Structures are given as structure tokens and as C-alpha cells.
Structure 1
């Protein structure tokens, strides 16, 4: 039997969840729990909080499978977005000044810190979803500070190929982030 395409698999798993098939939730958890936990941990910098967010996200998916719209993106993207939103909400609650306390310059700094953490998590999420060849080139150059020439040597590819992969990876990253901002 052929493996279903990602879009087809997304629709099938959504239908199975809507019918209440616990096995579908198990498959979804096996497939996406590392993504959910990792993204939540990057935003919150807490294993315990990431575990809590992971439980929340999969409970939400189980209770509201109809919210997934395959015409707007993949199941992976939807689950990543749910995770990101919940983690940022939790981070905001954690960093919000006490009720009645001053909300001056300190809260502006916290808001900037929150925005930086959320942006970093979004970038990391998008990079992890890139094809492996682009992800490797982008990780070496953008995140690890290598030149495209050094990346080419490490990856055992031509310099022109490394440069092309780096450019394409950055273009896809920019497009994905712009698409998220437009939602």
C-alpha cells in the first residue's frame, strides 16, 4: 500500500479525530510531539512548561479537530501555530507585572524580550520544516556563522550549490514568516 501524501494524510487524520479514534491521536502525537515540545521549550525555556503546553495542544486538537483547515496549510503548520500561540500566551502571563503594579519602562523591556523570544522560536520552527539540504546549509551559515565556502566544504558540495541553498533557504524563511504575519 502506498504512503498517503502529506495533504491526504492530514485530511485522513482529521477525519479520524472527528470520529473519535484514539489511535489517530496517538499517531498524531507520535508524529508531532517532538515538534510541539521543542518549540514550547524554546519559547518558555522550561521543560515542565513545555510538557504542559504539549498536553494542552494535543487536548485541543482532540477536542477541536474541525478547526484544522487543510486549505490554509498543513497539519504540522497548524499544530506549530497552536503551540507557538499557547507558549507565547503563557510567557506573557509569566512576565506580566503584578496587578496594580507599575507598567512603565520595565514592561516595555519585557514586551521586547517576549517579541524577540517569539521571533526566534518562529524562525527555528520554520527552519526545521525546510528540506534537509536547505536546512543544513542555512544552519551552518546563518546560525553557526560559517561562510558559504566553509559550509560547502563541510557538506561536501560545490560552493555555488551551498550559496544557492543558503539563498533559497533564506527566501523560504522570509516567505514563511511573512505569510504568518499576514494571517
Structure 2
């Protein structure tokens, strides 16, 4: 899947971070902390470790704002990728220290990779598909209700949902996990 063009907000945020604006880090944290924490918690299944990974990810972003390349995709996808890499690294370290069986660790790694890919796919898909999926998933609307809310025909709403779900289903494909730390 091709990387989506970053938003103007993404580019401006990176510039502000590169200038060392503390307020920019606060805005970034407000926007993405729940994403980072939930991804880390999904991998580690531990509140304290998820909070620590959240701090590490935002610390890395503050110290390395130029590591984000807008040509590679959205800031959200980059932050999610950083989180996944750091959490997987932590999980592999815990495996080496006897925290969980190898099968449990591999299952958590597989789930984390799937979650990160799903997040990337959703943030990369066109807005009309993302809106349709959001209505169906978060607001529990069927395609007819979504069509009314989106101002499109029933057939168009069904098409958007079908295509969005087809794209999202590719997250279940299992590429080899990456275990690099930040």
C-alpha cells in the first residue's frame, strides 16, 4: 500500500518539534498518547510497562524530530510504528528474561503486528472509506444508516464498507515481525 501524503498539520508539527517547541510536544502527546499507550498495552498486557513505553516513544520523538520523514506517510502512522517497534523490542527482552513462554510471546507479537498494520491501513485509506468504517464500527450503523449519514446511496455506502473491510483484512497477513528498538 502506498504511503498517504502527510497532512499540513503533520508537516507543521514536525517543523515545530525540530525548532524545539515544547508546546508542540504537548499537542502531539494530547493527540497520540492514547494511541501509543493502547498499542503498547496490547503488546505488553501490562499497564506500567505501557506507560513506560509511552514515555520512551515521546522522549524519542522529542530528541529525534527529524527521524520522521513526511514522504513516508502520516505522523500518526510513524508514531504507531515507533510504538510497535519499541513494544516488540521490550517483549523480546522480557522473553529473554523468562517472562512468558515463547508461544505466549510469539502470540502477543503476532497480535501487536496485526494491530499496528490495521492502524496503518486505516490511517492510509481514503477519507470516504475511513468515514464509512468509522460509522459502522464505532457508531454501530448498518450500511443504510451510514448512507444517510454520509449523504450517499445505499450501494455507494456498501461499496465503501466492502472496500474498506477488504483493505483492513490485509492486516491479518503475517509478515515477519521486526524486533528493532527505537
The reply to whether TM is greater than 0.5 is: yes
1:16 paired to 2:16:
yes
- 4+ residue runs of structure 1 moved beyond 6 angstroms? 175-178
Q: Describe the superposition over 1:49-94 as per-residue Cα deviations: whole angstroms up to 9, x where unpaired.
A: 1111110010000000010000011111111100111111112222
1:115 paired to 2:106:
no
Which residue of structure 2 lines up, in the alignment, with residue 29 of structure 1? Answer: 29
Query: Which residue among 129, 151, 157 is the counterpart of 2:142?
Result: 151
Cα distance, 1:48 vs structure 2: 1.4
1:159/1:96 CA distance change after superposition, 3 Å: farther
82-91 or 42-51, which deviates more: 42-51
How many residue pairs match? The answer is 160
Q: What TM-score, normalized to structure 1? A: 0.70
CA contact (8 A) 2:132 2:157 kept: no
Aligned partners of 2:112 and 2:83: how far apart in 1? 11
Aligned partners of 1:167 and 1:67: how far apart in 2? 35
Show structure 1 runs of 5+ residues with no match: 99-105, 145-149
Show structure 2 runs of 5+ residues with no match: none
**What is the DSSP-based 3-state SS (H/G/I as helix, E as strand, rest coil) of the residue aligned with 1:20?**
coil
Which residue of structure 1 lines up, in the alignment, with residue 161 of structure 2? Answer: 166
Aligned partners of 2:166 and 2:119: how far apart in 1? 15
Cα distance, 1:162 vs structure 2: 4.9
Cα distance, 1:95 vs structure 2: 2.7
Aligned partners of 2:114 and 2:171: how far apart in 1? 14
**What is the DSSP-based 3-state SS (H/G/I as helix, E as strand, rest coil) of the residue aligned with 2:72?**
coil
CA contact (8 A) 1:122 1:177 kept: no
1:41/1:31 CA distance change after superposition, 3 Å: same
Highest relative contact order (Cα 8 Å, sep 6+), 1 or 2?
2
Aligned partners of 1:163 and 1:156: how far apart in 2? 8
RMSD: 3.3
Q: Describe the superposition over 1:72-128 as per-residue Cα deviations: whole angstroms up to 9, x where unpaired.
A: 111111111001111111122223364xxxxxxx63x24541333223422552466
Cα distance, 1:176 vs structure 2: 7.2
Indicate the structure (1 or 2) with the bigger Cα radius of gyration. Answer: 1
1:89/1:51 CA distance change after superposition, 3 Å: same
Q: What TM-score, normalized to structure 2? A: 0.70
